[in-house]
Amino acid sequence: MKKIARNLLNFMSTRLGFVLTLLVVYWLKTMWAYAIDFNLDIQGLYQVFLAFINPLPLGLLLIGLALYFKRSKLFYSVAILIYLLLFIWLISNAIYYREFSDFVTVNTMLASSSVSAGLGEAALELFRPWDIIYLIDIPILVYLFYKKQIRFDQRPFNKRASFAITALSTMLFTANLFLAEIDRPQLLTRGFSNYYVVRALGLPAFLGYSGNQTYQANKERSKASAEDLKPVEDYVKSHYAAPDKNYFGIAKGRNVIYLHLESFQQFLIDYKLKAQDKEYEVTPFLNSLYHSNSTLAFSNIFNQVKAGKTSDAETMLETGLFGLNQGSFMVNYGGTNTQQAAPFILSKQGYTSAVFHGNAGSFWNRNTTYKQWGYNYFFDQSYFSKLTSQNSFQYGLNDKIMFKDSIKYLEHLQQPFYAKYITVSNHYPYTTSLIGDEIGFPQATTKDETINGYFATANYLDSAVKSFFDYLKAAGLYENSIIVLYGDHYGISNSRNPALAPLLGKDSETWSSYDNAMLQRVPYMVVVPGMNSGKIIDTFGGQIDILPTLEHLLGIDSSKYLQVGQDLLSAQHQQIVTFRSTNNFVTPKYTSYSGRIYNTQTGAEITNPDPTTQKELEDARNAANNQLKMSDTVQTGDLIRFYQGNDLGKVNSKDYSYTHSLKAEEKIEKQKGDQSTSLYSKRGNVSTADLFDSPSYRALHPEQFETTSSQEGQADSSSSSSSSSSQEKAGP
Ligand code: GP9
Ligand code: MN
């Protein structure tokens, strides 16, 4: 035993031995941080393996650089310095993570105020007794040197051997990258979430990744100037679609509740799945909303997302601008660009805003982007039930539980509020086995497992939405709210569509790009309780048009905002829907998709367009491409920072914090006293949490569900609610 220790100390007394010692200590500390401080959501052996090895390649590469130094003093100083830098980076992240549930990015460091917000005064409070583990190596190493148990090695390390170490670690890092890409394709280009990168590649690589992101964003940004705004302002002015008088302001002052329907495609609406010789209606509740005369339902709205998927949909709906051609806007610019987003615009009308989402707050960089958008609250996974294998999957908590858990926060929001629920259960891989009590809806029987599960998870989402509506009615929130539902993007990708074809009554063999384009339609429904003139509207439009539509419904003049969409209810709405890829678009007449042109009405391919058709196609193509171009100059140039065309002002992200949100809500209720408009206050400080998912409530309070003549406009949220006749009629 003694001999082994002696040998070990002798090895540590060589230069290579010293480098490897530091590497092993750094590795151990990283493992500790992964296990204790970070929530990396590591699943399966493969990810465990990746996390286990990832500190080593770059650790060796960096500490190994010291070996190039000949002089002993220099070698030891450089090795220790690099080691300390790695260590400081590790512990800074560990501490920062405790407050922000995210990693330190180069952006956060540059905007040092927000780092100090996390690491300044509060830093001391953030230390935990067991942090001693992070420091324990230092006295031990000092002691061993002091006692001459480890000696300084005066012999310079062979240059070629140093080079070999560099080459080896570079190779290991390349292998690490390769393995990471297998686990999560497009890990670095799509930038899903910071913790994905850390989990797969480690913290030093994350620093490089985040530095590159900042560099790329700043490159465009620094070239941009106020001049660049001119064409955008002209564009916005000339594309302004004036509101229809019949709709302008019909929801003024009401709560706005967005329900983000994950991966939900329009074809699910009214769809019946044939299984075991029976037909199963997949989404009965959403179908009832679709046909209700309280709903403005749209049948030709296309998703316009690209690699940013959910985050692209959010970007469009919140800011009226597109996501990027590459990667996610929220990830690359969301936390830094000046933006005039819906929550901020509505705050000027007295709205309080909140997001509810059952996944980690850092996914898609939401936690920083939402601050730039002016969201007052962000209730992420950390606010809800603890995740178990029964109640969640890799993208977070099951929707029903998220809805139920949200009530205790929702009821404390000051009204009117702008609240968004981002569901997740209907997300790839559509594994119903993970939705506990909801197993039962049949699987489809194609040869593609992904397609087979899609209907059951959509059915689960449908019933989750229904329980939420039941709650809204029971709690008296329904009448003075509008509920907007939208699908964010496809659930079944184009490559799987031929296998889906038979379920849609089509032939896999003749499935075309036209069919793919048509499947990009997603639901968009605005439920306006009390309104009786709801209908299904065939206007062609996209997600980019949803914000101006909402603004007009709420009676807000949208003309002064730099948004590139158009109110879908306006007579001036131009029906040219651009996909987030150049030259791909749909109009009621033409569909241009994947390099082919079709007649939108018949689906027939147009191979030899006559001159008139050619001209019309060119006009549509230019209009579509121009819309993207305008949006891109604003987004990549961060142009809103120069914009003087309205008096909205700028969000100060430092005004927002997403920790201790319930306390913050309660504090406002207290301050406002009798003036508090939260549901909780209005109901005499009684919680409505138990009204969720409780069918018995209906039996106890039949008077609240009786058909009464509907009242337009606002209803007092504290009085008993009454469902509008139209809604009742259409209800399932
Ligand atoms: C994750 C969820 C999914 O939080 O919003 O994002 P997606 O994979 O659909 O882009
Ligand atoms: Mn999504």
Mean pLDDT of the chain: 90
State how far the Cα of 635 lies from the Cα of 639, in Å rounded to an integer.
7
pLDDT on residue 434: 53
Q: What distance in Å separates the CA atoms of residue 126 and residue 131, rounded to the nearest whole number?
A: 10
User: Is 441 in a helix, a strand, or coil?
Assistant: strand
CB distance 424 to ligand 1 below 6 Å: yes
- Judged against a pLDDT cut of 90, whether residue 728 lies above it is answered with no
Which tens digits make up the pLDDT trace of 462-482?
A: 999 999 999 999 999 999 999
Distance in angstroms (rounded) separating the CA atoms of residues 439 and 212? 45
Pocket test for ligand 1, best of 359, 427, 486, 490 (most atoms within 8 A of CB): 427
703 burial (CB, 10 Å; 0-12 / 13-18 / 19+) is exposed
Percentage of residues of the chain with pLDDT beyond 70:
92
The three-state secondary structure class of 258 is strand
Tally of CB atoms within 10 A around 284: 14
pLDDT digit string, tens, across residues 415-424 = 999 999 999 9
Residue at 416: amino acid letter: P
- 3-class DSSP state for residue 639? helix
Look at residue 716 in the predicted model and tell me its pLDDT. 35
- How far is the C-alpha of 383 from the C-alpha of 381, rounded, in Å? 5
> Is pLDDT of 14 > 70?
yes
- Residue 597 pLDDT: 96
The predicted pLDDT at position 720 comes to 35
Q: Of the candidates 571, 466, 454, which has an alpha carbon nearest to the alpha carbon of residue 527? A: 466
- Which tokens hold the place of 583? 């030259």
Residues of the chain with CATH 3.40.720.10: 230-655
| Region 230-655: CATH code | 3.40.720.10
Q: What is the pLDDT of residues 350-373, one digit of tens each?
A: 999 999 999 999 999 999 999 999
- CB distance 95 to ligand 1 below 6 Å: no
Q: Has residue 727 got a pLDDT over 60?
A: no
Ligand closest to Cα of 263 equals: 2
**DSSP SS3 for 48:** helix
With a CB cutoff of 8 Å and minimum separation 6, the contacts of 102 are: 96, 194, 195, 361, 362, 367, 368
- Provide mean pLDDT across the span 701-712: 43
Q: Which atom of ligand 1 is nearest to the CA of 312?
A: 10
**Which atom of ligand 1 lies at the shortest distance from residue 357's CA?**
4
Residue 505: φ, ψ to 5°: 75, 25
How many Cβ atoms are within 10 Å of 163's Cβ, its own excluded? Answer: 13
* Residue whose CB lies within 8 A of the most ligand 1 atoms, among 310, 356, 489, for a mutation test: 310
The CB density around residue 336, as the number of other CB atoms within 10 Å, is 22
Local confidence band at 549 (pLDDT 50, 70, 90 cut-offs) = very high
Higher pLDDT, 63 or 116: 63
> What is the pLDDT at residue 112?
54
Query: For position 1, what pLDDT does the model report?
Result: 81
Contacts of 174 (CB under 8 A, 6+ apart): none
Pick the atom of ligand 1 nearest to 489's CA.
9
* CA 422 to ligand 1: nearest atom: 5
Cα(403) to centroid of ligand 1, in Å?
A: 17
Beta strands in 460-511 (DSSP E): 481-487
Q: What SS3 state is found at 451?
A: helix
- Distance from residue 310's CA to the centre of ligand 2 (Å): 4
Report the alpha-carbon distance of residue 564 to residue 624 in Å, rounded. Answer: 11
Q: Bigger pLDDT: 277 or 121?
A: 277
Cβ atoms of 590 and 610 within 8 Å: the answer is: no
In three-state secondary structure terms, 619 is helix
Conformation bin of residue 327: beta by default, left when phi > 0, alpha when psi is -120 to 50: left
Tokens of 100: 């922000």
Structure tokens of 640? 């809103």
Q: Which atom of ligand 1 is nearest the CA belonging to 260?
A: 5
By annotation, the residues acting in catalysis are: 310
**pLDDT tens-digit profile of 377-413?**
999 999 999 998 888 888 999 999 999 999 999 999 9
pLDDT, tens digit, for every residue of 485-516?
999 999 999 989 999 999 999 999 999 999 99
User: Which residues neighbour 269 within 8 Å (Cβ) at sequence distance 6 or greater?
Assistant: 283, 286, 287, 290, 523
Per DSSP, the three-state class of 439 is: strand
Q: Ligand 1: does its nearest atom lie under 6 Å from the Cβ of 309?
A: yes
The residue type of 185 is P
The residues pairing with 578 across neighbouring beta strands, listed in sequence order, are: 585
Pocket of ligand 1 contains residue 465 by CB under 6 Å = no
Q: How confident is the model at residue 194 (pLDDT cuts 50, 70, 90)?
A: confident
Token pair in block for residue 57: 């390649």
pLDDT of residue 627: 97
CA distance 415 to 665: 12
| pLDDT tier, 126 (very low <50, low <70, confident <90, very high otherwise) | confident
Position 582 scores a pLDDT of 81
User: For the segment 95-116, what is each residue's pLDDT rounded down to a tens digit?
Assistant: 888 877 789 888 778 765 444 4
Ligand 2: centre distance to CA 527 (Å): 22
Instruction: Determine the average pLDDT of the residues in 226-234.
Output: 97
Neighbours of 312 (CB within 10 A): 26
Q: Tell me the CA distances in angstroms from 399 to 309, 407, 464, one per residue in order.
A: 19, 13, 6
* Helices 72-100 + 55-64 axis angle, to 10: 150
Ligand 1 centre to CA of 198 (Å) is 18
Split at pLDDT 50, 70, 90, the class of 43 is: confident
**Residue 700: per-residue pLDDT:** 44
Please give the pLDDT value at position 630: 97
Question: From CA 276, how far away is CA 273, in angstroms rounded?
Answer: 10
Mean pLDDT of 227-232: 97
Q: What's the pLDDT at 358?
A: 96
d(CA 221, CA 636): 6
State the pLDDT at residue 124: 67
The whole-number pLDDT of residue 715 equals 35
Ligand 1 binding pocket includes 427 (Cβ within 6 Å): yes
Atom of ligand 1 nearest to the CA of 488: 9
* 406 close to ligand 1 (CB < 6 Angstrom): no
Element of type H or E holding 585 = strand 585-586
Q: How far is the CA of 323 from the centre of ligand 1 (A)?
A: 14
Helices marked H in 558-716: 611-637, 661-672, 679-682, 695-700
- Best CA proximity match to 697, nearest among 484, 461, 435, 407: 407
Instruction: Please say if the pLDDT value at position 709 is more than 50.
Output: no
* Coil, strand or helix at 617: helix
**Position 693 pLDDT exceeds 50:** yes
Which two structure tokens, joined as six digits, stand for 680?
């909780």
Band of pLDDT at residue 438, cut at 50, 70 and 90:
low
Rounded mean pLDDT of 637-641? 97
Residue among 424, 430, 489, 490 to mutate when testing ligand 1 (max atoms within 8 A of CB) = 424
Q: In the structure, what pLDDT confidence band is assigned to residue 432 with cuts at 50, 70 and 90?
A: low
Its pTM stands at: 0.82
Which chain residues have CB less than 5 Å from ligand 2, an ion? 262, 309-310, 488
Would you state the pLDDT for residue 9? 94
Q: Is 190 a pocket residue for ligand 1 (Cβ < 6 Å)? A: no
Structure tokens at 518: 């048509």
Q: How many CB atoms lie within 10 A of CB 378?
A: 25
Instruction: Check if 393 has its Cβ closer than 6 Å to any atom of ligand 1.
Output: no
% of the chain surpassing 90 pLDDT: 80
Name residue 602's amino acid. T
Distances (CA, A) of 54 to 34, 51, 180, 181: 11, 5, 10, 13
The closest ligand to the CA of 265 turns out to be 2
Residue whose CA is closest, atom 6 of ligand 1?
Answer: 310
Q: Which long-range contacts (CB under 8 A, 24 or more apart) does 230-236 make?
A: 231/630, 231/633, 232/562, 232/630, 232/633, 232/634, 232/639, 233/562, 233/645, 235/564, 235/626, 235/630, 236/559, 236/561, 236/562, 236/563, 236/564, 236/630
